[in-house]
A and B are shown apart, each in its own frame.
Chain A
Amino acid sequence: MAAPMRQLGQTSFQKKIPSKLQIPGTKPSLYNNQLLISTGIPSLDNVIGGGLAVGTVLLIEEDVFGGYGRLMLKYFCAEAVMTGQALFLSSLDNKPSQILNELPAPILDDPGPDSEQLVTGATERMKIAWRYQHLPQFQSSPMGTKFGHYYDLTKSMELGVISSINTFLVGQSELTETDSSEHPMNPYYLQLLKRIQEKIDSDGFGTAVQQKKRNILRIAIHSLGSPMWGENGGLNQIGSYDPSLPRFLLALRVLMRSAFAVCVITMPTHLFCDKGFVVRVERLCDTVVHLESFAGSEKEKNILYKEYHGLFNIHQLPSLNSLTCHMPDTLDLAFKLRRKKFTIEKLHLPPELSETASRPQEDPLSNLKFPPQTGSCGTSLGVKNKLDF
């Protein structure tokens, strides 16, 4: 079974990962044997089924001001630095080098559990179950490199550390060459595709290429589809349908499928007036998450959300090489930003403990709109009784 699959060598969706193929910063999925990498946010990895499968595209639909989307992209890039993977970073809204300089610094002062465990394990002789003693120690991270790191947002990563990995920045100047004026596609998207293709080919990230030491290419595209890219929400100058962005995403999916690469795109989908176009864009990506920040909205003051900074919705999860996708408990989550940590959590509603309707966020409003009616059956002296109706 494995032989014909390897012969094809076309896709990174190999069912069985050859045991010798150990790539730093990856782990096999518990569900479907896909090779996974971390998004850089461990709580996000958990929610989407362990991590991002190699060969897929993650779309982050940005919040209105784009700040949190950008932050998530930085985490993704920082994780590349920590695991020694290659990074391809593109942006037209900001300079890519600026994003690279603002990466959060890793928190490294946690006690190295690996080394400590090994030492104690070697010295302590087993008192019971001694026949398991000669078995090899269980290692939580067999790759040597930890999967998923924590970062301190107050400090930025040292430039020396960043320069240790293979980075490739694509900004305005790299995307403005126009050689194919005849092509019916947005020139920026076309150039970006070409750059990604060149990078995959030149550094041997393709699945068809035999390599002794494999590595992963992380592709981060910031604010794709913003006005800087010449995108107009799927409409061209004369107001008819412009399929450039769907075409780009389809071609990107094809490129990813045949490479050891993972792509993360942030996109300001709230700028597209046609919601149908947003749905199309989502369908052409593999994993889709949506951010909704509370900044400047009514929800900021809502007591229900006081712990959080925004809502986090999962719109789509990929089913790769299987009938099902990962099914989390809920698709509606929330995120919060602490000084050192960006976490995604289940949105907990406050428990309804008292018997009377006690929703503090609704009561003031309803009281204002409908002042206590004297005609109702009950005491109606401002104090609501259980027997009132």
Chain B
Amino acid sequence: MFSDLNHLFAVSKENHLQGEFVVISNSKADGSFLIHHFLSFFLKQNRPVCFVGLSQSYNHYSTVAQKLSCNLNAAKTSGQLVFIEGMKLLGDAVSGNSLIKGDNSFVCKAAFDLQQFFMHIKSTLELLKMNQTQDPVLIIDNLSFLLYIGCSIPQLVMFVNYLLQKVTSQCTGSLVLALYSDMISVDENSDLLWKNLSHLCSITCQVTGLESGYSKDVHGELLITWRSRDVKQTQIKKTQFKLSDKNVTFFASGMSSAVL
């Protein structure tokens, strides 16, 4: 959890990002720090979290969370965190060396059956809501991997719609999705997925590389947009960031300590 980032998101005692749908897009810069931030942020709020890891193994998330002083193993054993190792399930299904158990029947024929997968998440969320007092959170890192392995755009958009309905309307929980998208539209399908999701969501976070190219001292730009029904209330914050081993520093564009 980064306190600077909480400041950017205007987190306060009243605002714990309940009922928000956050979409994080990565292009030419690594925005995974946002995912790690949200994971530890919600766990520290004592919110029950369902995490779907499609891009990295559990150990990766666990080690990074440790650096942010958050213990995933403890959260897992206490039932606060349900970690779905999507990457491992999928990889085993592709190489065909695992017997798909009843619990994980959404992985079939080297792909995800999104309908089954939704049912699985739904039952997980309901279980979390029953056992824990607060509203559940669903985090998926990274939705683009589902696109890469062959899920179609309409399927994915429908899937997200169902999730949104389940998480934010029925449970007043929060939904955080990450995906890759190239703003220069090299990959048209990723672009289309991004447009569809940003149409649905309430907060978008765009992590992009610098326009001027690679820099060792400025790792990228973060653009946060709050969308609301009322056009006048749409709010935008733009900042540049630099990652370090355990922290992220934010500064206004062109105000990096390397420049000044």
Partner of A197, one of B36, B97, B110, B182: B97
Q: B150 and A321: CB pair below 8 A?
A: no
A-B pair count, CB < 8 Å, reads 129
Segment at the B interface, from A217-225, A247-255, A301-309, A355-363: A247-255
Q: B57 and A243: CB pair below 8 A?
A: no
Q: A118 within 8 Å of B by Cβ?
A: no
Partner of A185, one of B30, B58, B62, B110: B110
Given the interface pairs A279-B186, A323-B67, the reply to whether A246 lies near B149 with Cβ below 8 Å is yes
Partner of A251, one of B63, B95, B150: B95
Partner of A276, one of B88, B109, B149, B186: B186
Q: A13 and B182: CB pair below 8 A?
A: no
Q: B246 within 8 Å of A by Cβ?
A: yes
Q: A232 within 8 Å of B by Cβ?
A: no
Q: B109 and A184: CB pair below 8 A?
A: yes
238-269 of chain A: CB within 8 A of chain B: 241, 243, 246-248, 250-255, 257-258
Segment at the B interface, from A1-9, A59-67, A290-298: A1-9
Q: A10 and B94: CB pair below 8 A?
A: no
Q: B66 and A251: CB pair below 8 A?
A: no
* B143 CB, nearest partner CB in chain A, Å: 12
Q: Which residue of A lies closest to B182 (CB)?
A: A279
* B65 CB, nearest partner CB in chain A, Å: 11
Q: A320 within 8 Å of B by Cβ?
A: yes
Q: B117 within 8 Å of A by Cβ?
A: no
Measured in the bound complex, the distance between the Cα atoms of B36 and A258 in whole Å is 22
Q: B59 and A10: CB pair below 8 A?
A: yes
Residues of the A chain whose Cβ atoms lie less than 8 Å from the Cβ of B7: none
Q: A15 within 8 Å of B by Cβ?
A: yes
Partner of A255, one of B30, B73, B91, B188: B91
* A246 CB, nearest partner CB in chain B, Å: 4
Q: B42 within 8 Å of A by Cβ?
A: no
Segment at the B interface, from A156-164, A327-335, A344-352: A327-335
Measured in the bound complex, the distance between the Cα atoms of B145 and A8 in whole Å is 25
Q: B219 within 8 Å of A by Cβ?
A: yes
